[in-house]
């Protein structure tokens, strides 16, 4: 596999039940491509956390995933409210999620730290009122 594969997903915010479809699709594609299970797990968890964040905090957005021989790059871009203080948002337990999100099983403030933990590289670009772009890389050993 010399050239890379690029996948694009639109994530909509109007249906919480569908959140995670993109991550699920990427996971099954990586499995079919015989990517090592460890890398698949890292991609699945970090992308799913990011996808859920786009749905609950940012009115959805676009995810592009590039799969090359030695690296998987995920770019999650939204036009949501932006993140006021990234350092604070990255802390385990910090969450602005409303109570109705907690009754759905999310909003513990664990997502961003978990994305950091499971990706090999992570970068967040954000601007208040404009949106947030999270880029994560997972290397294939």
Partner 1 sequence: MTIKDISEILHAEVLCCEENITHEVHTACGSDMMSDVLAYVKNQSVLLTGLCNPQVVRTAEMMDIICIVFVRGKIPDEGMLELARERGIPLLSTKHRMFNACGLLYDKGLRGGDLK
Ligand X SMILES: Nc1ncnc2c1ncn2[C@@H]1O[C@H](COP(=O)(O)OP(=O)(O)OP(=O)(O)O)[C@@H](O)[C@H]1O
Residues contributing to the site for ligand X (CB under 6 A): 49, 53-54, 57-58, 78, 80-83, 89, 94-97, 106-112, 132
H-helix or E-strand spanning residue 73: strand 71-78
Q: Which two tokens stand for residue 6?
A: 């690029």
For the chain, the straight-line distance linking the first and the last C-alpha, in angstroms and rounded, comes to: 15
Q: Which two tokens stand for residue 91?
A: 């802390």
Residue 104 binds which entry of partner 1, ligand X, Mg ion, none, with Cβ cut-offs from 5 to 8 Å by kind? partner 1
Q: How far apart are CA 29 and CA 62, in angstroms?
A: 18
Residue 89 binds which entry of ligand X, Mg ion, partner 1, none, with Cβ cut-offs from 5 to 8 Å by kind? ligand X
Question: What residues numbered 80-99 form the site for partner 1, per CB under 8 A?
Answer: 92
Q: Is residue 107 within the footprint of partner 1 (CB under 8 A)?
A: yes
């Amino acid at each position: 596999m010399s050239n890379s594969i690029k996948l694009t997903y639109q994530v909509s915010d109007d249906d919480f039940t569908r959140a995670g479809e993109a991550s699920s699709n990427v996971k099954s594609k990586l499995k079919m491509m015989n990517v090592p299970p460890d890398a698949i797990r890292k991609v699945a968890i970090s992308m799913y956390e990011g996808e859920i964040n786009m749905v609950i905090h940012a009115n959805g957005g676009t995810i592009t995933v590039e799969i090359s021989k030695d690296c998987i790059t995920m770019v999650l871009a939204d036009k949501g409210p932006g993140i006021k203080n990234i350092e604070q948002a990255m802390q385990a337990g910090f969450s602005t999620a409303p109570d109705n999100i907690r009754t759905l099983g999310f909003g513990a403030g664990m997502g961003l730290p978990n994305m950091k933990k499971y990706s090999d590289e992570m970068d967040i670009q954000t601007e208040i009122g404009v949106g947030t772009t999270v880029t994560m890389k997972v290397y294939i050993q």
